[in-house]
Amino acid sequence: MPTQRITKKRNTHRNIVLALITGLMLSGCVGGQLGKHNSNEYRNGMVVSASPLASKVGLGILKKGGNAVDAAVAVQFALAVVYPNAGNLGGGGFMVYRAASGETNSLDFREKAAALSSRDMYLDSAGNAITDKSLYGHLAAGVPGSVAGMVEAHQKYGKLKWADLIEPSIELARNGFKVSARQARELNGLKETFTEFNPDGTAFLKAGDWTEGDVLQQQELANTLEQIRDHGRAGFYEGAVADSLIAEMQRGQGIISKEDLKNYKAVWRKPTIGNYKEYKIITMPPPSSGGIALLQLLKSVETYPLKRWGLNADSTVQLVVEAERRVYADRAAYLGDPDFFKVPEQQLLDNAYIKNRMSNFSWNKATPSAQVKEGNLNGREHEETTHFSIVDRDGNAVSITTTLNGSYGAAVVVKGAGFLLNNEMDDFSVKPGTPNMYGLVGGEANAIAPGKRMLSSMTPTIIEKDGKLFMVVGTPGGSTIITSVFQTILNVIEFDKSMQQAVSAKKFHHQWLPDEVYTEENTLDSLTMLKLKAKGYNIIPRGSIGRVDAILKTKWGYYQGGADPRGDDSIAAW
Ligand code: DON
């Protein structure tokens, strides 16, 4: 492939990711009136997701008497149909769960590297990274985890019949749905890429351009969903759907085998839990870096008077940036799949360690990232994803972030089965020090190995206050996920914002390398910018940061939603 085309394609890809997460439309509530308190508060249950159609599916399940997990399973499958840029069957994700009883759990259904993968599989003969191989086409895909994850979640906590949770998605795939203006733009932008990787065509390609309101039907995907409805896990990892996936691998020199599919298992893991003031943060453990990084960030700023300084004040921005710089440096060195690499979780969350990490920044001057390495543990022991938050009438809560990695993943639709392959392999550290799609670097901890899960930044989180449910939160956004969840939480807890205000508020981001502070437009006023620039902060404006979908439980027991205006995100509640 000529380099120029690769560059163009990568840029197009980036632009699509950026376009996808940019926008100002705030979708309205689609919920009924029952249990409504005031404009945005409900009593009986709430679903906040990236798509009004998916939120509606989830609400339907809640109204049928399903619990939050039932609704989550239905929303995951619905997003695979109506939000194919990130919703998926061929990807993976993480779920954090908190039952009304206080029981907490987390489910890892992250993709895994195939048995035939190897550490240097994306390096050329001179040892240089050929990252497009980890981003496009068959070789970019990890073994999918989403279907196994949904089966696990349903078996453990579900109440309604499995088939009832998938039926709405089959209908949406079979009969089609109207694409939004945003979706039409994205699909048109990817025409060249889809044509290149799907020579026999896909439902995403049509004669002429897509326009808002065109109906997208996905018959092959509907057939696959029927297999999953009728045979559960075996309907995807074995039989006709698995055969189609293996045939697709053979067509495109991919390496996922029948054995890989059969062996894939979703794993229940102990959530990472920590405190911030009087709040208990229940979040995702490794192979996500998100939970540990979120707790490190919260602990790094806990003792400072953020409330007094105020949202986006220069001191607030400086402190948050310096905390993020250090935490992302730790991420690059210490975080990886815990089944392959011993993640020093306790040490990274040690109060003295964090205090020490924060002790060497100066209020007078930015700490150059070149001078910041991962912390010394003293022998003590990283665009397109989607997040949804769900609560039911009983108070059970589910926080799920799920992804194909890039928008429309590897751009390969499995012939005969109608679902997209992920390009999650790019989340591995392809070569130490070489940045991935999100500019994140890594090393040994996140090197490729057969059966290993690639490090993630996804941070599905649930927060308790006084032993009761307080918040359900998460977002897409690659490396900015951790930042966005962190700042949304601070917006509520420290800056007294409503859930919607906290979600809508502009965000800023620093990830250690590159040594730059990214800000959404109009985040910082001109005086604050001048002050920070004078101290050596390199401030770069960029498109959207995050697309948070969250729910807050008010002290009066009502659910308050926050649907991100940066997308078509939507609250459905009753
Ligand atoms: O797991 C991760 O961290 C990435 N694959 C997430 C990708 C993502 O959020 C893209 N969204 N805009």
The H-or-E segment that residue 347 falls in is helix 345-348
Distance 474 CA to ligand 1 centre (A): 12
Task: Tell me what pLDDT residue 13 has.
Answer: 37
Task: Tell me what pLDDT residue 386 has.
Answer: 97
SS3 state at 507 = coil
Q: Which residues pair with 517 in a beta bridge?
A: 539
Distance CA 507, CA 493 (A): 16
Distance CA 522, CA 120 (A): 42
Q: Which residue is catalytic, options 104, 131, 385, 402?
A: 385
Task: Tell me what pLDDT residue 383 has.
Answer: 61
Per-residue model confidence as pLDDT tens digits over 33-59: 345 556 689 999 999 999 999 999 999
Q: Which atom of ligand 1 is nearest to the CA of 20?
A: 12
Angle between helices 162-175 and 68-82 (to 10 degrees): 20
Phi then psi for residue 571, to 5 deg, are -100, 130
Kindly list the distances between the CA atom of residue 543 and the CA atoms of 99, 339, 481, 532, in Å, as whole numbers in the listed order.
36, 36, 14, 20
Task: Tell me what pLDDT residue 21 has.
Answer: 31
- CA nearest ligand 1 atom 5, residue: 405
Contact 410, 418 (CB under 8 A): no
Task: Tell me what pLDDT residue 433 has.
Answer: 85
Q: Sign of the CA dihedral 282, 284, 285, 288?
A: negative
Q: Look up 480 and say whether it is catalytic.
A: no
* Global model pTM greater than 0.85: yes
Contact 436, 140 (CB under 8 A): no
Q: How many CA atoms does the CB half-sphere of 36 hold within 13 Å?
A: 13
Distance 339 CA to ligand 1 centre (A): 21
Distance CA 29, CA 18 (A): 25
Encoded tokens for 414: 């499995």
The H-or-E segment that residue 293 falls in is helix 290-301
Nearest Cα to 404, choosing from 69, 17, 54, 7? 17
* Mutational test site, ligand 1, from 21, 283, 481, max ligand atoms within 8 Å of CB: 481
Task: Tell me what pLDDT residue 462 has.
Answer: 99
Distance CA 336, CA 442 (A): 9
Domains of the chain with bracketed CATH: 45-266+391-446 (no CATH), 269-382+458-573 (3.60.20.40)
Encoded tokens for 200: 């026999």
DSSP state of 53: H
* pLDDT less than 50: residues of the chain: 1-34, 379-382
Task: Tell me what pLDDT residue 44 has.
Answer: 97
First to last CA, the chain: 52
* Mutational test site, ligand 1, from 403, 549, 566, max ligand atoms within 8 Å of CB: 403
Distance 384 CA to ligand 1 centre (A): 6
Distance CA 343, CA 445 (A): 8
Task: Tell me what pLDDT residue 31 has.
Answer: 34
CB under 6 Å to ligand 1: residues? 17, 21, 382-385, 403, 405, 424, 427, 456-458, 476-478, 481
Nearest Cα to 306, choosing from 116, 492, 77, 540? 492
Q: Which residues pair with 273 in a beta bridge?
A: 282
Residue entry with tokens 């239905």: 74
Task: Tell me what pLDDT residue 20 has.
Answer: 30
